[in-house]
Structure 1
Amino acid sequence: MSAYSRLLIAGFTLLGLLGCKEPSHDTAIKKQGFVYCGQDTPTTLNPQLTDGGLTAETLSAQIFDRLLLLDPISHKPLPDLAKSWTISDDGLVYTFKLRDNVPFQHTTWFTPTRPMNADDVVFSFERIIDPDHPFHNISGGRYPWFESLGFADIIESITAKDDHTVQFALKRPDNSFLSNLATSYAVIYSKQYGEQLLKSGRVDLIDSKPIGTGPFYVEQFIPNDLIRLKRNNDYWQGAAPMEQVVFDISARGMGNLAKLLSTECDVLSSPVASQLPVISNNDNYKLLAQTGMNVSFLALNTERSPLNKLEVREAINYAINRKTLLNSVYYGTATEAKSLLPPMSWAYNHDSKALSYNPAKAKQLLDAAGYDYKQVLTMWVPLEPRPYNPSPRKTAELIQANLKAVGVNVALHHQETIGRVGLTDTTKYDMVLAGWIADNGDPDNFLRPLLSCNAKKAGLNVANWCDLSFDNLLEIALRTNKQDQRQAYYQQAQDIIDQQVPVIPLAHGVHFQAHNKSLGGLQMDPFGTRSFSSVYRIE
């Protein structure tokens, strides 16, 4: 039976979900905005505090602006709040000229008295890097994405030269610096709002009722239920057509596909592969696809026996049949991963010597390592579908069966979501099924947050792997201006990953998004950070 035939069978089976549907959502929302479904339940609305998920990948672009944006095709930085910038000859000083008269959001709890200026930029980044900043320790004081890059270690100073000029001085050259400022994590907050919260003693509200300059502001946040955004009528690029956007983050009632088909949701992010025929064969819906800068992978805890032995890690790699995963989980919509970097990356190593499927070789390596076949390894598995892995449970079960075939017993531990922060206790797991969506087009954005020594300290490197040779290559690449030399360094770094096997790349997925045909203006990009400021209702 073909993959597409299985897709159709799975898809038509899902239609049975619609036999008992809940009432459609409030007609007022239908007229004035739209409902978005299909991503995780956030614990914070501040993307600086996260390492991905709904807050960073979708909410950030609605609530906040950044100094820079990324061109979805070239991946080059573009102006946003910064209208221009210059770089000193030694690559150590970046000077940004800010736009005039960009207003912050006006809400029932905050009325700005001035537009965005350089002080707000300094406030937003010093919160991250300065332990003595009054807001640094709010909400836990961890900034995992920035910590994984060693961001605080490269900043010498951030200075407001005047209201419309801000200067970043670096301790060493960093060719990824502009790209990092264009990510959804590098958002600009209102310093004036922070000062108001300090006076009122409610500093915690800065992350649950944030103020930015984006096209929408937060009106309501009910954890595990919904997030309601309202239109910022003073948005500097013009008010959005939609008056509100509601994010359905509840797990109650029907599944997300059923919510889409019953019109309870207007947009479904990341439908799983088996749902695609139901959507594409229904004239009421449009299905968008974007080749993503992403990767799914299996992280091996290199600090825990027996995975601290290279032979065992190699054996697990040889035992996994990626082609079966592509056929049974992705239904042919993904490409096999031989590296953490996707093939569209300019630094991708086309000569990768990553290990391929060979169960006989796996068994041979296990025997040579003196593997104890009676032991049971643990694998932590998220249940939430993501663009890089539409069905983590099924992926884990297939890997479990592959490993069982060579004598490796694995117990699966399912969780609704698994954030990489907090997994640094090496006594809790042997393997983690994980993935990554790039925040920008620089190869450093894949390799450093996932496998650097800084990422290990930050709790993002769940392989608990630290290799100084690997880190040195990343550092040299950042300081080299010539792209062909940078490419050579990144390919050497990929060779080290191939040799040491701290992670096993599985697949590069396609990001799908479905929406009701009555919506127009929805767009996608490789980084999943598109604003809803241009979305409108056709009917």
Structure 2
Amino acid sequence: MILLHNHWLMRTLYCLLFASLFPLILVGCEDPFSDNSIRNRGFIYCGGGQPNTFNPQLSDGGLTTYTLSSQIFDRLLQFDPVTYQPIPMLAQSWIINPNGTQYTFFLRHNATFQVTDWFIPHQGVTAKDVVFSFKRLISQEHPFHHVSGGKYPWFDSMDFAGLVDNVEALDDYTVLFTLSRPDVSFLSTLATTYAVIHSSEYAKALQQEGKLSRIDTHPVGSGAFYLDEYQPHQIIRLKRHWGYWKGAAPMEQIVYDISIHGTGTLAKLVTRECDVLSSPIASQPSVIEKDPDFVLSYQTGMNVAFLALNTKHPALSSLDVRQAINLAVNRDDIIQSVYYGIGTPATGMLPPMSWAYAEHAKFTFSPRLAISLMTKAGYRHGFSVDLLVPLTPKRFNPNPRKTAELIQSNLAAIGITVNILTQEDINRKKLRDNLDNLDMVLTGWIADNGDPDNFLRPLLSCKAQSTSWNLSNWCNRSFDRFLDAAIITEDRKKRRELYLQAQTILRDRMPIIPIAHGVHYQARNLTLRGMTLSPFGDKSFANVSRNR
């Protein structure tokens, strides 16, 4: 009884603390799982981490981008689940001018915004909402541009503000985007979960109240579910949007268990505390498969795990040293020990399912040759480096700590002492001011769309240095020229040739060490239907139902 009392007391104090410090956060102090109707009219989703915002435009990945965005917000376009090509969403159709610099979108007339405790809309989705949402990204003068920090990592990494000259409403349901240059990946960009549509009417009301930042903490979208409750490090509760243009979702609510105490996510699944487990780590599927009450789905992911080398570091600036590190990493050992034999050793940044994948030979594992390159570079006696490792498992790396320890052992064999520095997850915004002081970072990438540019430009272009997504601090003008030429080339065969040349530069210059491509798993209760997987991580629960 004392333990129960202390647990209740700590929860109460915790909630009161957050309510006083963060008045804009939706906090409830009742037991989040005391509502027995959750499983009767909804489901509990475990995994995905903690949100750092409810606006995907501000996010650099994680729960907000890969799960919440697809429930709360709509985009102009979405990806076809089979072809992964952009198809209509809020935009029913579009036309492109002959030189590829003007895109005109025609919106559907029946999309409505959500009714929440903090806002009741009086108009549906119109061209003004599209203009507001994208003008915020590209215009320094926009009243919301500098709100919540004014950084839009994904858009900044691809120079979206430099690409889009203007967005204008031609009438209530017609929007014109004017680009500064052709970009054949533009439609795919608008289909990503970052490119969400906000309510301009809600924004205007927030301006009048002087509470602009609430647009990012108290979202209003047109998606199938709206945000109802948020208890930090406890739960996120979404409720059904009855006016959804596709028809109301079968499920009344979705509860995300984001608690940081108690049993692990696998235990919660096995004990029926969770209905869905997002991205179980590589060691868990064999356990889940033995339980007849669960279905385990998997899909080869559009992802890559890699080691980013700071090319401004005295030793890592040497090409011979970078090549030595590449030769010293035993990828086959990592695949067996970390991915349990399921992952694929990487031969470059693009995964095999990409249409621009370069069929390079596997990287050689040769510590002896690596030592000779170290000697050639003047580091026969080695050197020391720090390796920053985020501990949160990702679908591209199910066990970052284990991966780091294997790399540490590999590099010790050629004289490089690796000091592992851990943190729960990487916040790329915080790395921006400290980029020059990083030595190596174990990280990865999940593609936001199927275009090769989405892998290469945000992570390795010169422009991406200023957004902290280019953790290698690397800039190669020839590499950028191939990317720039590819992005204006409509012929896919010619585009592929350009991307192959860009990938050859990466393989020759080695600013990053590609490690592996992971498999995306998802476990769900057998009674749930309509739950799908996407190689890009986005998934809508608008069609999920429970069959008892």
Taking structure 1 as the reference length, the TM-score comes to: 0.94
- Identify the residue that residue 196 of structure 2 maps to in structure 1: 187
2:530 is the alignment partner of 1:515:
no
Deviation at 1:26, TM superposition (A): 4.0
Could you tell me how far 1:27 is from its partner in structure 2? Answer: 2.1
- Do the aligned partners of 1:354 and 1:498 also contact (CA within 8 Å) in 2? no
Q: Does 1:103 align with 2:112?
A: yes
Cα distance in 2 between the residues matched to 1:211 and 1:62:
11
Q: Distance in 1 between matches of 2:298 and 2:520?
A: 6
1:448-470 Cα distance to aligned partner (Å, 9 max, x none) = 11111111111111111111111
2:384 to 376, 401, 407: 376
| Preserved contact between residue 32 and residue 235 of structure 2 (Cα < 8 Å) | no
Where in structure 2 are the equivalents of 1:137-148 lying within 5 Å? 137-148=146-157
Which structure's relative contact order is higher, taking Cα pairs within 8 Å and 6+ residues apart? Answer: 1
What is the alpha-carbon distance in structure 2 between the residues aligned to residue 221 and residue 36 of structure 1? Answer: 14
CA contact under 8 A between 2:52 and 2:59: conserved in structure 1?
Answer: no
Matches within 5 A, 1:429-508: 429-508=438-517
The reply to whether residue 200 of structure 1 matches residue 209 of structure 2 is yes
Q: Which amino acid aligns with 2:60?
A: D
- Cα distance in 2 for partners of 1:275, 1:124 equals 40
**In 1, Cα distance between equivalents of 2:206 and 2:73:** 18
Conservation of the 8 A alpha-carbon contact between 2:93 and 2:105: yes
- Runs of 4+ aligned structure 1 residues displaced above 6 Å come to 22-25
Q: In the alignment, is the contact (CA less than 8 A) between 2:527 and 2:546 conserved in 1?
A: yes
Query: 1:102 & 1:426 partners in 2: Cα distance?
Result: 43
User: Among the aligned pairs, what percent are the same residue?
Assistant: 53
Greater CA deviation, 66-75 or 138-147? 66-75
2:54 is matched with 45
Aligned counterparts, 1:211-360, within 5 A: 211-350=220-359, 352=360, 355-360=363-368
Equivalent-residue separation in structure 2 for 1:56 and 1:115 (angstroms): 24
* Structure 1: segments with no counterpart, 5+ residues: 1-21
Alpha-carbon distance in structure 2 between the residues aligned to 1:250 and 1:430: 33
Judge conservation of contact 1:179–1:440 (CA < 8 Å) in 2. yes
Q: Is the contact made by 2:86 and 2:187 (CA closer than 8 Å) also made in structure 1?
A: yes
Deviation at 1:356, TM superposition (A): 2.0
Count matched residues: 517
Corresponding residue SS for 1:421: helix
Which region of structure 1 is more displaced relative to structure 2, 69-78 or 97-106? 69-78
CA distance in 2, matches of 1:298, 1:226: 33
* Equivalent AA in structure 2 for residue 140 of structure 1: G
Deviations 1:228-265 (A, max 9, x none): 11110111101111111111112101111011111111
Give the distance between the partners of 1:460 and 1:49, measured in 2 at CA: 14
Distance 1:279 1:175, change over 3 A: same
Q: Distance in 2 between matches of 1:91 and 1:23?
A: 50
- Whether the 8 Å CA contact 2:391–2:423 is kept in 1: the answer is yes
The answer to whether residue 409 in structure 2 is matched with residue 401 in structure 1 is yes
Q: What is the alpha-carbon root mean square deviation over aligned residues?
A: 1.5
SS at match of 1:432: strand
Displacement after TM superposition at 1:117 (Å): 0.3
State the Cα distance separating 1:24 from its structure 2 match: 7.5
Contact preservation (8 Å) 1:24, 1:263? no
| TM-score, with structure 2 as normaliser | 0.92
> Does the CA contact (< 8 Å) of 1:285 and 1:515 recur in 2?
yes
Kindly provide the amino acid, as one letter, of the partner of residue 67 in structure 1. L
Structure 2 segments unaligned to the other structure (5+ residues): 1-30
Distance in structure 1 (CA, Å) of the matches to 2:38 and 2:420: 40
Q: Give the corresponding residue for 2:170.
A: 161
Give the C-alpha shift of residue 132 in structure 1: 1.0
Residue in 1 that maps onto 2:39: 30
Give secondary structure in 1 for the equivalent of 2:52.
coil
Mapped pair 1:367 → 2:380: no
Counterpart in the other structure of 1:535: 544
Counterpart of 2:373 in structure 1: which amino acid?
L
